[in-house]
Structure 1
Amino acid sequence: MTIAAAIVGYGSAGRQHAQAIKDSGSVELRAVVETDLAIDTAACARRSSVAEVLRDPRIDLVALCLPPGGRAELGRRVLGAGKALLVEKPPAMDVAELDDLLARAKTQQTVAAVMLQHRMLLPPEAFGAKWGPATTSVLEVSRPRSGDHYLTRRWRGQPEHALGGILAHLGVHYLDLACQLLGRPAEVRLLGRRNRLPGIDSRVAGTVRFESGAVLSFAVTSEAAMRSERLAVFGEKHSVVIENGAVMLNDGQGERAFDAIATPRLRSQVYREVALSIAAGEEPRRCSLHAARGVTMLLRDAVRDEGAAPC
């Protein structure tokens, strides 16, 4: 069964989704909705509006590749039309938005998923460990971004549309991995923040205590020249270290290494999982939007804590 998809928004994220669809082998790109006429969508049929896509009974899945601010209303419309939904990260502006989308997906009995493709890096064995109060974890993300990055697309410099800066758009992947392993955050404390623009962070450091009792210290920056991503989780008998996509797992019986997977391939894996979920009428196992509640809670506290001292 081939799933037919439409992409709404054909900027950088939209083009990445188009490539992922092409590589998936199980999803067909049927339409693109893009209001900017300067953006070339020649590779696929251009539709004039989201309403036109939602009226098309041949389209099964709609991917929203738009800025997070205002995206939820479109998500509600997609789910209301009985279409499956795939949203770009960050998943939502706040928990209320996320819960509303999840409630509508449940009512319509359709699939709601999120493009947090780094989840596909985690081997199944990583979920077998008990990450309790003795668990200590460290997260560091360095992804260079110049000031011009936030000016090329105006929404990137507007917190009401972008939600935030480096933390919400690039740190979110490894923060989400921490939540997949450790559960929901109970308390987030910021140790400091630097902003590129008002409300658009370029460096954030803090700590998280999870409901499981596990703790995480994190630092995310766009100000360093080096690119690096690392999450290390150390439990009583187990450990998981994810560094630049490569995974080292110790399950108490010894270490096992898993090679890094290129990000485009991870995105295509998300589309394959969504296609299988739509065909089976089941919630996705990895890319479920429901599983984004933890990172949404974390971002709510970390991005909007303007009382944090500069760092």
Structure 2
Amino acid sequence: MTRTCAIVGTGAIADVHARSLAELGDRVRLVGVVDLLPERAAGFAARWGIPAHPDLAALLDARRPDLVHLCTPPGSHLPLALEVLRAGAIPVVEKPPVLSLAEFDELRRAEARTGRPVVTVFQHRFGSGAVRLRELVARGALGRPLLAAAHTLWFRDDDYFAVPWRGKWEVEGGGPTMGHGIHQFDLLLSVLGRWSEVTAVAARQARPTDTEDVSAAIVRFESGAVATVVNSVVSPRQTSQLRFDFELATVELEHLYGYSDANWRVTAAPGAPDLAEVWAGGPVDTPSGHTAQFTALLDALDGGGRPPVDSEDTRSTVELIAAIYASAFTGAVVRRGEIGEGHPFHADMTGGRAPWPRRER
């Protein structure tokens, strides 16, 4: 079955989506594009041999796509996704999917009304190393999880934030906690399961932003595991690191923006069985990336199942972000389920107040 796809927004990530869709062959067909700037839409359309449309409504009416990939700034995701759902299509939303828990809960209500799922792009879940690790954890081959770390240490200079929508709460919803480290700690959650409480700090150290440029959190999980989650855009030696210490082994991943099996390392605990053969089993070497996630998405849809990374998964990740900000800006320990309707950090990742004076740019 060939599914039709459209793209909204033509920034750099849109070309990543288009290339990944092209790699899926006749399983998908790209049928249209929309951008606020007609000249950008025309250029993208020419590159990919598809028609450009003046707005999303015109695209939805003319093309009736099965899936619509939202590659726009985060502040626009909610209204666009709601429009896509009302048209009977499936929104495939780049991270972060929304600006707040309240927005995501609104999206879930629309999902329930329309019977169409909302898909968030969390492509790091789909590399074969992560798939293999989750399988080993599920069958208890590594023992209990004890300690973990998810560190996204990146560098973005001042010029990066000269783009008008970057570094602003009202457009991005947050800094590296929201828009950069989200991939690493989403993968962390996919391995360790439900988190239970968070203690965090956030700071604006150097960048000309309204948001934080650094955050650090200690996260407890229902399993008893404890993890550190660090997010930064001020780190000259860039790296993305995940480490899991289980009873029987340490499993580590270090990469930058994507990984293959070569980026993983497994160290057996003293006296524990050699895990080389166990780790070598499972899926073949599939790099993390959009192609891997879109393949898994199509497999699920073709099989009549729910897409991987469903709205319940995504809500857990967005709730962790809200909890990190709530703890950082109030000094309190924040527990899972605490940030519900009426809570200051449900509607706004700042809790309704600027954590520090706004910077003029």
Q: TM-score range by the shorter chain?
A: 0.7 to 0.9
8 Å contact 1:27–1:271 — kept in the other structure? no
Is the partner of 2:180 in helix, strand or coil? helix
Distance 1:241 1:20, change over 3 A: same
Give the TM-score normalised by structure 1: 0.87
8 Å contact 2:92–2:120 — kept in the other structure? yes
Greater mean deviation of Cα atoms: 197-206 or 223-232: 197-206
Bigger relative contact order, structure 1 or 2 (CA pairs below 8 A, ≥6 apart): 1
Task: Give, in whole Å, the separation in 1 of the partners of 2:123 and 2:31.
Answer: 22
Task: Give, in whole Å, the separation in 2 of the partners of 1:209 and 1:199.
Answer: 29
Q: Does 1:23 align with 2:45?
A: no
Query: 1:307 Cα shift?
Result: 4.8
Q: Does 1:8 align with 2:8?
A: yes
Query: 1:60 Cα shift?
Result: 0.6
Greater mean deviation of Cα atoms: 80-89 or 232-241: 232-241
Matches within 5 A, 1:101-250: 101-121=107-127, 122-124=130-132, 125-128=135-138, 135-151=146-162, 153-195=163-205, 196-237=207-248, 239-244=250-255, 245=259, 246-248=263-265
Q: Give the corresponding residue for 1:294.
A: 316
Paired residue total: 306
Query: 1:250 Cα shift?
Result: 6.9
Q: What stretches of structure 1 of length at least 5 have no aligned partner? A: none
Task: Give, in whole Å, the separation in 1 of the partners of 2:286 and 2:211.
Answer: 30
Task: Give, in whole Å, the separation in 2 of the partners of 1:194 and 1:132.
Answer: 39
Greater mean deviation of Cα atoms: 71-80 or 125-134: 125-134
Out of 60, 73, 79, the position equivalent to 1:67 is 73
Greater mean deviation of Cα atoms: 122-131 or 80-89: 122-131
Is the partner of 2:98 in helix, strand or coil? coil
Q: Give the corresponding residue for 1:49.
A: 55
Encode CA deviations 1:165-187: one digit per residue, 9 max, x unaligned.
22222211111011111223322
Out of 326, 329, 334, the position equivalent to 1:306 is 329
Is the partner of 1:207 in helix, strand or coil? strand
Query: 1:306 Cα shift?
Result: 3.3
Q: What stretches of structure 2 of length at least 5 have no aligned partner? A: 332-354, 357-361
8 Å contact 1:247–1:260 — kept in the other structure? no
Encode CA deviations 1:201-225: one digit per residue, 9 max, x unaligned.
2221221122333211122222122
Task: Give, in whole Å, the separation in 2 of the partners of 1:22 and 1:4.
Answer: 12
Is the partner of 1:90 in helix, strand or coil? coil
Task: Give, in whole Å, the separation in 2 of the partners of 1:136 and 1:290.
Answer: 24
Encode CA deviations 1:32-54: one digit per residue, 9 max, x unaligned.
11011342222231111111122
Task: Give, in whole Å, the separation in 1 of the partners of 2:143 and 2:323.
Answer: 22
Distance 1:294 1:65, change over 3 A: same
Give the TM-score normalised by structure 2: 0.76
- Percent identical pairs in the alignment equals 27
Q: Which has the larger radius of gyration?
A: 2
8 Å contact 2:201–2:324 — kept in the other structure? no
Q: Does 1:280 align with 2:286?
A: no
Is the partner of 2:200 in helix, strand or coil? strand
Give the AA of the match of 1:68.
P
